[in-house]
Amino acid sequence: MKIGDSTFNHGYEYQGTVELLTVTLLTEQLNFSYGETLANNMAHASHGPAGCGKTETAKDFGKKLGRFVHVSACDEKFCCIDLIRIAKGIAAENTWVISDEFNRVGMGHITHFMKFLAEFMENRADKENGYFLTMNPGYAGRTKFTLDTKHWKINNMDTPDFLDISQLLLARNGFHNYEEIGTRFERIRYELRWKMTKTDHYDFGMRMVMHTVKSAGRWLLKTESEEQAMLSALMVSIYPGIRYTDF
């Protein structure tokens, strides 16, 4: 497979019938960045808030290249030995790994692991190993550190293309009037995100969009009205979690 100026072998890893992400300008830019990372035998790091698609985009790229992608959810209990053991695991049949929320690991463990990973990737220059990090900067309890650009390709992710993604997901779930309904849904999501009380349990990001649209698709099987199906999905997915002070 050709990505930019680089060519990669398809891994032919059987994954069954898989769903790929909606193609947007952001995902295209990231795919080219992933290709450049692998071609230069580097590792990739994505920065951004929760729910912006850091992990899912990397997993989607692995599916396109037929590679099994292992996701490791990091936390404060991880040590450098755990990280090294996971990194060595990608040597088996060119498996890829994503260390999710990597900046939750302690600074001392990160420093030792970075030295190991740089040597490890250089020694496997003839292999198409993929090592990806995702980080949520600015959150409480996160470790601050810098990455060596000699060994790391870094991308900052902020806001997904909510409107395009919503409309395409609605179309895939059987909505004929997906452009208008998607636009109205995005307007509602935007208003809720910025006008509701700042509460931890509120989530008006991509996870809410995916959940609501899938629910709307199920409601559409029970009614002929697309507007009624979307309204029912909003009532089931969002209404129960709204605080009474926000009404």
Rg of the chain over all Cα atoms, to the nearest angstrom: 20
Report the pLDDT value the prediction gives residue 125, as an integer from 0 to 100.
Answer: 60
CA atoms within 13 A on the CB side of 57: 30
Domain boundaries, the chain: 2-156, 162-238
Report the pLDDT value the prediction gives residue 139, as an integer from 0 to 100.
Answer: 72
pLDDT tens sequence across 171-190: 999 999 999 999 999 999 99
- Beta-bridged to residue 156, according to DSSP, are 47
Fold of 2-156: Rossmann fold (3.40.50)
Query: Same fold for the domain at 2-156 and the one at 162-238?
Result: no
* Residue 106 scores a pLDDT above 80: yes
Q: Work out the number of other CB atoms within 10 angstroms of the CB of residue 52.
A: 21
Q: Chain-wide mean pLDDT for the chain? A: 86
| Residue 226: pLDDT band with limits 50, 70, 90 | very high
* Superfamily for domain range 162-238: Dynein motor, AAA1 domain, small subdomain (1.10.8.710)
Enclosing H/E stretch for 61: helix 54-64
DSSP letter string over 125-137?
TTS---EEEEE-T
Report the pLDDT value the prediction gives residue 22, as an integer from 0 to 100.
Answer: 84
Q: What is the mean pLDDT of residues 55-78?
A: 90
Report the pLDDT value the prediction gives residue 116, as an integer from 0 to 100.
Answer: 87
From 1-5, 36-40, 189-193, 220-224, the region with the lowest mean pLDDT: 1-5
